[in-house]
Structure 1
């Protein structure tokens, strides 16, 4: 059933000036991605996603330590995209995007020279780090002199307190959750959106992290929101997009992660999802950056997420998104079969196979949920 058409706005929830800056992101069509000394799976999560979803807009990856190598060999995306050592090697560049997502969101010293070079050339800089480049006195002065614009994607002043809102009953809310950080929650959400749109469904990906915002051109940097307003900002994000038939709310962190469980809980209770997609990386046994902390079983996560989410709104796991990058295709098939039999749920590897299996599960679930 098509969602009820209600009069609400689509822009990101932030101050007007920041919203205007964020809305410029989709207008860049000659992008250089900065990954200096960090072109690897551990750090270049933002670069990987940009290369996957904004391929046509990317003209180069900047990493002087990897010149001569292939981007795809290093991070699995970006076939044919050159690696350069300096902005001076390129013409007509719109923007330099900082392409890494390090723990703590700090700017590595190795990247400072390239950012300065771009600003001095009048090129805009887009960053998703917690270190706000626009608040660096020296960079701000250089930008004012050159005409460059610095966009800090995580900068926001969301001041929404959750009200236990009543959502549009015809809008199905699907939220991706994980067994750890950096397992593919954003990719799963985006791939499901694309698959549903391909089928003619009015679906919308709701970005809650810096990488998703760089792709979508809107959203809420939920991990940079004051804790009192975390739930409310997630709630408002859904309210502002509830005129769509299905919303895919990007997940963050993990409910058992020693560092990031708070943001996961806030999203669960703020967005009040009908259904959950559990994302996991096959073969990962310990928490990212905390090798002494074991990851609970998927069965435990199903119980945990359903119980905690349902404290706000009845919710259940309806599918599993596997990240099989550590497995061969043959091993991946066996893993999917094993997990599906164990949990009684559909399992797919969206990286290799696309999201058709999960889209099927969502549309079947929609019949009973809305």
Structure 2
């Protein structure tokens, strides 16, 4: 997947779906690969900037057509429920391929399986890269994980609460301090940002654990691995991938992530979220069935709260659970990085 990092003039396609809920892939690309982004494509918002549209990305322009920008790739910038290509996105994909621009998609709807699109790509020497498409077929063995490679995994009260962001920010803070820490991507956005990883949410069920284990065993030359989480252990739709990750990567520590104010399960507004204390206990018990593990910190997503509310929440939760807590956007990831370093020292001693 390192091929994804070769693109230096990316257009992010979000047309008419530029919301935090749907466009989280585009938002993360703007945050973590801003120098590689040439433009955001949205016909309704053309003429403004990424900063105005998403609160990140600075002066990167929002355009209405590919003709307005010199591009080497069109990235599908949304992660919609079900992972299908919106019908109104297709003309943009066709336009890109017809002028030799590669198309990168993280959808479950594999564009490379579409005969018309593959013909367009072949005719105009363009590529279609489906980030989630993979040939991985291996079950976990339960062995070969080096005991001196510290593994920290992000888990959540629900989907889309900031597990990838927390993991990336902790890894960056550790590297800033000189620690040998690596980020392991397990979803489409993380793979697009880092250029490598395995799409855990697009694995045959029997191979989810094996894929998570493979990610670890292929990266354990690093002293610390920060493994991106997926789904939620209590989500009626996505709990399987969450448990598979927990047992496949056999973490030593967990960072629990949740969003302030969220009351119901994502996509299922008739199902209330379980209390975070109950969720934290369930994660520790489930992870420890495979390998001794505990929660070492809490990452709070306070995007819909004021600064004062966020500070009160951070202090309250930290005191209640006796753990470092922070919003990595507002506070930085220092407190959580401290927790990782402390766990590393504890296990070594």
TM-score class, shorter-chain normalisation, is over 0.9
- Name structure 2 gaps, 5 residues minimum: none
Choose the corresponding residue for 1:71, options 30, 40, 50.
Answer: 50
Separation of aligned partners in 2, 1:303 and 1:293:
20
Q: Which runs of 4+ in 1 moved over 2 A?
A: 68-76
Per the normalisation by structure 1, the TM-score is 0.93
Does 2:261 align with 1:304?
no
Pairwise CA distance, 1:369? 2.2
Does 2:42 align with 1:59?
no
Could you report, residue by residue, the CA deviation over 1:166-199 in whole angstroms, capped at 9, with x for unpaired residues? 4111110000000000000000111111101100
Separation of aligned partners in 2, 1:332 and 1:229:
39
Choose the corresponding residue for 1:114, options 74, 88, 92.
Answer: 92
List aligned pairs for 1:273-288, cutoff 5 A.
Answer: 273-288=251-266
Contact 1:96 1:123 in 2 (8 A): yes
Find the residue that maps to 2:139 and give its secondary structure.
coil
Give me the CA root mean square deviation.
Answer: 0.9
Find the residue that maps to 1:173 and give its secondary structure.
strand
List aligned pairs for 1:42-53, cutoff 5 A.
Answer: 42-53=21-32
Contact 1:37 1:110 in 2 (8 A): no
Find the residue that maps to 1:321 and give its secondary structure.
strand
Residue 28 of structure 1 corresponds to: 7
Does 2:15 align with 1:41?
no
Matched residue pairs, number? Answer: 348
Contact 1:168 1:243 in 2 (8 A): no
Per the normalisation by structure 2, the TM-score is 0.98
Pairwise CA distance, 1:314? 0.3
Does 2:134 align with 1:129?
no
Separation of aligned partners in 2, 1:69 and 1:29:
21
Pairwise CA distance, 1:311? 0.1
Find the residue that maps to 2:330 and give its secondary structure.
helix
Separation of aligned partners in 2, 1:202 and 1:160:
28
Q: Which gives a bigger RCO, structure 1 or 2 (Cα 8 Å, sep 6+)?
A: 1
Pairwise CA distance, 1:94? 1.2
Find the residue that maps to 2:133 and give its secondary structure.
coil
- Name structure 1 gaps, 5 residues minimum: 1-21
Could you report, residue by residue, the CA deviation over 1:199-236 in whole angstroms, capped at 9, with x for unpaired residues? 01110000000000001111000011000111011111
List aligned pairs for 1:10-29, cutoff 5 A.
Answer: 22-29=1-8
Find the residue that maps to 1:352 and give its secondary structure.
coil
Does 2:322 align with 1:344?
yes
Find the residue that maps to 1:309 and give its secondary structure.
helix
Find the residue that maps to 2:104 and give its secondary structure.
strand
Could you report, residue by residue, the CA deviation over 1:137-185 in whole angstroms, capped at 9, with x for unpaired residues? 0000000000110000000011111111141111100000000000000
Residue 250 of structure 1 corresponds to: 228
List aligned pairs for 1:222-233, cutoff 5 A.
Answer: 222-233=200-211
Separation of aligned partners in 1, 2:49 and 2:8:
22
Find the residue that maps to 2:279 and give its secondary structure.
helix
Residue 270 of structure 2 corresponds to: 292
